Amino acid sequence: MDFGLTDKIALVAGGASGIGLECAAVLAAEGAAVVIADMDGEAAEKAAEALTGQGHAASHTVVDITDPEAVQAMADQVLGRYGRVDILVNSAGIAGDKLFVDSTLEDWRQEIDVNLIGPMLCTKVIIQNMIERENGRIITVASDSARIGQSRLSYYAAAKAGAIAFFKSLAQEVGRYKITVNVVSPSATNTPLRIEREEGFRRSMGEEAYAERVRKVLRMYPLRRLGEPEDIASAVAFLASQRASWITGQVLSVNGGFTMP
What is the CATH classification number for the domain harbouring 101?
3.40.50.720
pLDDT at residue 261 greater than cutoff 80: no
**Mean pLDDT confidence for 171-189:** 97
Q: CB neighbours (10 Å) of residue 224?
A: 10
Domain that includes residue 123, residue range: 9-187+228-254
Q: What is the pLDDT of residues 94-141, one digit of tens each?
A: 988 899 999 999 999 999 999 999 999 999 999 999 999 999 999 999
Q: Is residue 170 part of a domain?
A: yes
96 and 194 assigned to the same domain: no
Q: Looking at 156, 177, 210, 221, which residue is catalytic?
A: 156
pLDDT at residue 37 greater than cutoff 70: yes
Confidence of residue 35 (pLDDT cuts 50, 70, 90): very high
**Phi then psi for 67, rounded to 5 degrees?**
-105, 110
211 and 128 assigned to the same domain: no
9-13 β-sheet, strand order:
58-62, 33-38, 9-13, 87-90, 136-141, 179-186, 251-254
20 and 54 assigned to the same domain: yes
Q: Is 7 left (phi over 0), alpha (psi -120 to 50) or beta?
A: left
Write down the pLDDT at residue 1: 61
172 and 53 assigned to the same domain: yes
194 and 95 assigned to the same domain: no
For the chain, give the mean pLDDT. 95
155 and 234 assigned to the same domain: yes
Write down the pLDDT at residue 193: 82
Q: Is residue 25 part of a domain?
A: yes
Q: Is residue 114 part of a domain?
A: yes
Confidence of residue 200 (pLDDT cuts 50, 70, 90): confident
210 and 194 assigned to the same domain: yes
**Mean pLDDT confidence for 188-214:** 87
Least confident range from 28-32, 191-195, 253-257: namely: 191-195
Confidence of residue 202 (pLDDT cuts 50, 70, 90): confident
Q: Is residue 15 part of a domain?
A: yes
233 and 213 assigned to the same domain: no
80 and 145 assigned to the same domain: yes
- Has 155 been annotated as catalytic? no
Q: For residue 10, what is the DSSP state? A: E
Domain tally for the chain? 2
Check if the beta carbon of residue 57 is closer than 8 Å to that of residue 28. Answer: yes
Q: Is residue 18 part of a domain?
A: yes
Q: What is the pLDDT of residues 51-77, one digit of tens each?
A: 999 999 999 999 999 999 999 999 999
Q: Is residue 4 part of a domain?
A: no
132 and 245 assigned to the same domain: yes
**Mean pLDDT confidence for 240-260:** 95
Q: What is the pLDDT of residues 138-177, one digit of tens each?
A: 999 999 999 999 999 999 999 999 999 999 999 999 999 9
